[in-house]
Amino acid sequence: MNFVTDFAREVDLSRLLGMHSTLGLLACMSDAPSYNLPIYLFGMWAYQDHQATGSMKLFTFMLAGSLVLDILYLIKHEWTWFALFTILSLALKPITILSSTQNLQIRGDPVDTSNWASNIPGVSAKPNNNSAYEEL
């Protein structure tokens, strides 16, 4: 695992996102998942916005979720040669996730997985206290 972390630290995230976008565009010629290309394009936009960390965090979480969905897609559907693009993109996703979390650390906002729901923009982990009763 240390080798993968070191490799993810040295690779350029913009090049990874470019490779993902190219593979996602080629995979769109088949019945491959259509959610990958918008996620990669959003990641390219989030990477270019060096001031904001919320969009980069959201991209990282969406990419991790799409990793699970890609595995389910490959299990469920028959394989064609277009599936090769999805498999290559799937193989790059762990490295891209590690690289984007390290990019977040460089920006000064590391991903804290202990309270993950509060780290996603637009999601509140605090309970809704619209009760008429007072807490003791």
Q: Which segments of 31-82 does DSSP mark as H helices, in order? A: 36-48, 54-76
Digit-coded pLDDT (tens) for 102-125: 888 888 876 665 555 555 566 655
If one counts every other C-beta atom within 10 angstroms of the C-beta of residue 56, the result is 23
In contact, 111 and 58? CB cutoff 8 Å:
no
Model pTM?
A: 0.74
Q: What share of the chain has pLDDT > 70, as a percent?
A: 76
Give every CB contact of residue 131 below 8 A, 6+ residues apart in sequence. none
pLDDT of residue 91: 94
Confidence of residue 31 (pLDDT cuts 50, 70, 90): confident
